[in-house]
Amino acid sequence: MIEALRRPRRLKEGDRVAIVAPSGPAPEDRVRAGVAILEGWGLDPVVMPGVGSPHPRLGYLSGDDRARAADFQDAWSDRGFAAVVSARGGYGAQRMVDLVDWEALAEVEPKVYIGFSDATALHEAIAVRLGVASVHGPMPAWSVFIDDTVTQEHLRRTLFEPEAVQKLVSPTARPLVPGQACGVTFGGCLSLLASGIGTGEGRTDAAGGILLLEDTGEDDYRLDRCLTQLLRSGRLDGVAGVVLGSWVDGDSEERIRATVLDRLGPLDVPIIEDFGFGHCAPSWTVPLGVPALLDADAGTLAFEVPALR
């Protein structure tokens, strides 16, 4: 049974936040633009050394695995940081996650981790290894965060005044399977969740959980493959409800809907689609590890407690 996780404290003006690059390299101009937005919120963002430094041979990675892990470890271990933020997604978090000394990080007061997409690997690790809730949200070097004020403001309110966004109401959401469900939120990028099965972060107990799923650039058969892997592994046994975000740059809405219903419909739990989180614009911020009520008919996800203390 999935249980609610320890919530870090909310942010306040003057807090130092560490920007890390556990996945791909972040373009310098985008990092500067994202930092400026965070500074406008009264935060003191600190860009860690590995951000913007591509791997010498594998250009899709921001530095080698040990360096990326060290940046994350140093940021989380530093009690002067109130939050750790992934600069961008891409690929690479799964390569560095086992190089982090999680036992050492468990001795540190919980802090906010923010990211999505490839950051799903770190959300899972933080949940399983530290028992800490995290924030599935936009990253400072992501173009949508830089350009879209709605996306910016929803993240800001989640971090500074989480009571104000304790109930998410999506104007685009539609029920695929009607009904209500209570449970603790978990999930993220579908392909990352599927590829994490069998690892230290591949939780096998989802009973009582509200599953969040999104992805980008995937055809219907590839989504089918990932969903089938989750089902065959038992990863979705006992799931209480499903919230689907965006499927940007993938197959048509109709084909994806058919695939999702074929694979997840037999779970016989409430399923809501197009909830507006993930790789879309605007993109909602959604806390993970927090108990919530899903109302598929009303298109709402209401959290029993604020995302942060």
Q: How many CB atoms lie within 10 A of CB 249?
A: 10
Closest to 273 (Cα-Cα) out of 174, 158, 192, 191: 174
Which residue has 């509200």 as its token pair?
210
Residue among 123, 136, 154, 279 flagged as catalytic: 279
Strands across the sheet containing 44-47: 44-47, 16-20, 81-86, 112-115, 134-136, 286-288
Residue among 117, 170, 246, 283 flagged as catalytic: 117
- Residue 28 bears catalytic tag: no
Residue among 124, 214, 218, 273 flagged as catalytic: 214
Structure-token pair, residue 301? 């996800």
- Residue 214 bears catalytic tag: yes
104 Cβ neighbours under 8 A, 6+ residues apart = 73, 77
16 Cβ neighbours under 8 A, 6+ residues apart = 43, 44, 45, 46, 80, 81, 82
Q: Are 223 and 186 in contact (CB under 8 A)?
A: no
- Residue 123 bears catalytic tag: no
68 Cβ neighbours under 8 A, 6+ residues apart = 20, 21, 22, 23, 50, 61, 62, 92, 95, 96
Structure-token pair, residue 291? 């108990």
Residues known to be catalytic: 117, 214, 279
